[in-house]
Structure 1
Amino acid sequence: MKKTLFSFCMLALILMVTACGSSSEDQTSEDTQDKDSEATEDTRVIEHEMGETEITGKPEKVVALEFSFVDNLASLGVSPVGIADDDDSERIIEPIREKIGDYTSVGTRKQPSLEVISSLQPDLIIADMKRHKDIYDQLSDIAPTIILPSLAADYEGIISSFETVSKAMGMEEKGEEVLADHKAKMEELRAQVPEDEERTVLPAVVADSGYFAHNMESYTGSLLESIGLKNAIQSGDERYNKINLEQVVEFNPDVMFHMVAGDQTVVDEWESNELYQDISAVKNGEVHEVDRNMWSRFRGLISSEKILEDAINYLYEE
């Protein structure tokens, strides 16, 4: 009887230990699965011009080293903590200034301050391929960094960069909604350009140091072409070309959009020249001064819409 009772107790004890072990293993397995699932959801690998960068969670403190990335973030409803604004807050165009609020300047776009950037303790840095590829490693030591085309990008490149920024921010769905609204706006603007529009346009930065024409592959040139406004320069190795008066005469644009830099420019010297006066745009009163910050420095969804609104107002105002 005692032997039977002892055997029964031992069997019960074994079953209890086995059940506890199984429950513990099940719980450990579930915890591991939960953690794996959480990591998959929170961590993503972003492909960019310099390779791949792993980003976890939604970045809360973002530093933007080009104005187009400020435009990208503003379009997503994100306020960057730091901006390379060339030490001049007036370069932030009004429609975007209203959206982003206060920020810390991290210096110039050409040479941002690594010390200031580090002091902001960012969890994401967005930099330009042309300007910042040489300091990519230093930036990456501070925070996860993605390098995208901006300065050398055309309009389609700017759209592609926006999509990458949306993914990096963990806001891909929001980005798709914003981009859909932008494309609808672009269609509305395109519809305002007559199908038989044949005039050529030439956007250019004009300064005392020269006349810098933007061809059909530049950001502004490709943007205008996207709604049917043909650029006067349809060839060339460089998107931004310093050209002389004789070359402007040769291209003979029907409309010129001048992004004026400084109080005195080369155009002031040309105005007394008969060659300049014989250019189609000059003869027909189609030379328009536009905001250089908007038309040249900012390259993004918000600024693109504003540029085209300006262009259409100048071309088709009643």
Structure 2
Amino acid sequence: MKKWITAILVAMMFAVLAACGAEEEATDSQTADAQTTETVKVTHELGETEVPKNPEKVVVFDFGILDTLDQLGVESVAGVAQGNIPTYLEQYEDTEKYENIGTLKEADFEAIHAMDPDLIIISGRQAEMYNEFSDIAPTIHLGVDTTDYMNSFTTNMETVGEIFGKEAEVEEELAAINEQIEGIKEKTATSDEKGLIVLANEGKVSAYGAASRFGIIHDVFGVKQADEGIEASTHGQSITYEYILDTNPDMMFVVDRNAAVGNDASAKDSLENELVQKTNAYQNDKIIYLDPDYWYLSGGGLQSVSEMVNAIESAF
């Protein structure tokens, strides 16, 4: 009789332990599910998107965002537009590690769909394809608004920090950039030098003013404009070398598109002609050639904006 009662008690004890174990496993499973389904609501230029927290497989079209993820040590980049990748991001040309998802203007939707990504990040050049991307995976537009550069850039960086759990790192990077910018503004505020921003492209020249593609030089860094009447435009205002001489800038900031797209034509050879040589900028050795990797191909990233700040700081 005692053996029979003891057997029942032992069986009951194992049943209780088994039930507890099952409950703990269920709780652990629920916790894991909660972690994998945690999302971040991102409001961006093209809408509002629920994005998975710490996505494991990310497709990136914007080089500024790519350089930000690289700077933050995020290792979930799986697909990159590998045409014309900036030199400082050439590690992402490795086709064994990263899927080639097409070009900045022509996405390879078949390749992207086959990847089954958790997140797609685009900017202006891909905006028209937003719906097609969204059919594949959560898609966000993190392009920079050149009419409000620093606020737009800051919001993008904070969004990236929130998605990938890098808030503290982003805050530290932004603080360093802003401190450096304040130092530049102190110099430009007391300087009488006026600048002209130009894009050189196979012998043709375009000018950019405030609130334009390269307007950060005037809007953020405080460099005074040699011509305040330049129209705000993504592609710039077409100008002549006679215009440059008439405007006679004290400083000229040059973005060489030829170098950005691998063209052998030298912007310096065509730009520094007899007319331009008569300007204050040329005579005072103040023609500053900006690195097209940062200014033309990327921009809007932690690495590129930091280098853009360095370039303007060195000019003063």
Indicate the TM-score class for this superposition, using the shorter chain for normalisation.
0.7 to 0.9
Q: Which residue of 1 aligns with 2:290?
A: 290
Q: Which residue of 1 aligns with 2:220?
A: 226
* Amino acid in the other structure paired with 1:220: F
Which of 98, 101, 104 is the matching residue for 1:106? 101
Asked if 1:42 is matched to 2:38, the reply is yes
Aligned to 1:142, the other structure's residue is in SS state coil
| Closer/same/farther in 2, CA of residues 153 and 227 from structure 1, 3 Å limit | closer
* Amino acid in the other structure paired with 1:82: G
Q: Which moved more, 1:43-52 or 1:178-187?
A: 178-187
Q: Is the 8 A contact 1:212 1:243 kept in 2?
A: yes
Q: Which residue of 2 aligns with 1:256?
A: 252
Task: Report the TM-score when normalising by structure 1.
Answer: 0.74
Q: CA deviation at 1:109?
A: 0.8
**Could you say which structure has the larger radius of gyration?**
1
* Amino acid in the other structure paired with 2:195: V
Q: Which moved more, 1:131-140 or 1:155-164?
A: 155-164
Q: Is the 8 A contact 1:224 1:308 kept in 2?
A: no
Asked if 1:175 is matched to 2:170, the reply is yes
| Closer/same/farther in 2, CA of residues 219 and 53 from structure 1, 3 Å limit | same
Aligned to 2:141, the other structure's residue is in SS state strand
Map 1:180-259 onto structure 2 (within 5 A): 180-188=175-183, 190=185, 193=187, 195-208=189-202, 210-223=204-217, 225-235=219-229, 236-245=231-240, 246-259=242-255
The whole-number CA distance in structure 2 between the counterparts of 1:174 and 1:269 is: 43
The whole-number CA distance in structure 2 between the counterparts of 1:99 and 1:180 is: 27
Aligned to 1:202, the other structure's residue is in SS state strand
* Amino acid in the other structure paired with 1:133: A
The whole-number CA distance in structure 1 between the counterparts of 2:175 and 2:273 is: 47
Aligned to 1:136, the other structure's residue is in SS state helix
CA RMSD, aligned part only? 3.6
Q: Which residue of 2 aligns with 1:126?
A: 121
The whole-number CA distance in structure 2 between the counterparts of 1:98 and 1:112 is: 20
Q: CA deviation at 1:206?
A: 0.6
The whole-number CA distance in structure 2 between the counterparts of 1:184 and 1:152 is: 20
Q: Is the 8 A contact 1:204 1:214 kept in 2?
A: yes
Q: Which residue of 1 aligns with 2:154?
A: 159
* Amino acid in the other structure paired with 1:59: P
Q: CA deviation at 1:126?
A: 0.5
Q: Which residue of 2 aligns with 1:81?
A: 78
Q: Which residue of 2 aligns with 1:70?
A: 66
Map 1:140-159 onto structure 2 (within 5 A): 140-150=134-144, 155-156=149-150, 157-159=152-154
Q: Is the 8 A contact 1:221 1:231 kept in 2?
A: no
